[in-house]
A and B are shown apart, each in its own frame.
Chain A
Amino acid sequence: QKEVEQNSGPLSVPEGAIASLNCTYSDRVSQSFFWYRQYSGKSPELIMSIYSNGDKEDGRFTAQLNKASQYVSLLIRDSQPSDSATYLCAVTESNAGNMLTFGGGTRLMVKP
């Protein structure tokens, strides 16, 4: 049973739209949540960190955390073709010594 789940996609959105990426996790006491962007053939790049319930905004990106429902999401406003990538959700798992556990990633395609 996967501990961090993401829809593999592809999620296709038109340029200028809001892209919504979701992630659910199983560990109720997880403390830290991260979103990474991975372009094809490249390594993952950290784009957002969130540690407490609510929203955290950084430019066009907003991370949303709901610990009661055990989900974390990433919204990308005014999506651009350059946002086309795979987005990985990562969660610290207390039953694994606070190790990061990665979801399988959601592939986002932004169409001009």
Chain B
Amino acid sequence: DGGITQSPKYLFRKEGQNVTLSCEQNLNHDAMYWYRQDPGQGLRLIYYSQIVNDFQKGDIAEGYSVSREKKESFPLTVTSAQKNPTAFYLCATEKDTSNQPQHFGDGTRLSIL
């Protein structure tokens, strides 16, 4: 079954804890993106990667980290430095960077305990 898999669907973070959100794709897409969405708001770009072993900061990268060791995987770590992590996190992929649309996973909802 082809697609973008985000896990877990729901995640709870204790204060001072780092948590990692998983994003895996089997679409053979080159580019991967992480967005944050707060209630009633639009999408804000956290990090993106257009090629393996390379990634770039988006508009709100502070308090987050990523890696892109494999084409299929782009995990996002929400560190303890991110003081307001409660949000809906969306992973997206794009076939390449030639004006293609992005496709989204089902998202992970992160809350603070």
Taking CB atoms, residues of chain B closer than 8 Å to A49 are: 101
Interface residues on B, range: 10 to 19
State whether the Cβ of B30 lies closer than 8 Å to any Cβ in chain A: no
Task: Convert B18-50 into 0s and 1s, putting 1 for each residue whose CB lies closer than 8 angstroms to a CB of A.
Answer: 000000000000000000000001110100100
Closest to B102 in A: A100
Residues 53-112 (chain A) with a chain B CB within 8 angstroms: 88, 90, 92, 97-100, 102-105
Closest to B99 in A: A32
**Chain A residues within CB distance 8 Å of chain B:** 31-32, 34, 42-46, 49, 51, 88, 90, 92, 97-100, 102-105
In whole angstroms, how far apart are the Cα atoms of A105 and B37 in the complex? 12
Taking CB atoms, residues of chain A closer than 8 Å to B104 are: 43-45
Interface pair A90/B97, CB less than 8 Å apart:
no
Interface pair B99/A88, CB less than 8 Å apart:
no
Interface pair A90/B102, CB less than 8 Å apart:
yes
**Chain B residues within CB distance 8 Å of chain A:** 41-43, 45, 48, 90, 94, 97-107
Interface pair B43/A46, CB less than 8 Å apart:
no
In whole angstroms, how far apart are the Cα atoms of A51 and B101 in the complex? 11
Closest to B4 in A: A43
21 pairs, CB–CB < 8 Å, chain A vs chain B: A31-B99, A32-B99, A32-B101, A42-B106, A42-B107, A43-B104, A43-B105, A43-B106, A43-B107, A44-B43, A46-B102, A49-B101, A51-B99, A88-B42, A88-B43, A97-B97, A98-B97, A99-B45, A99-B97, A100-B102, A102-B43
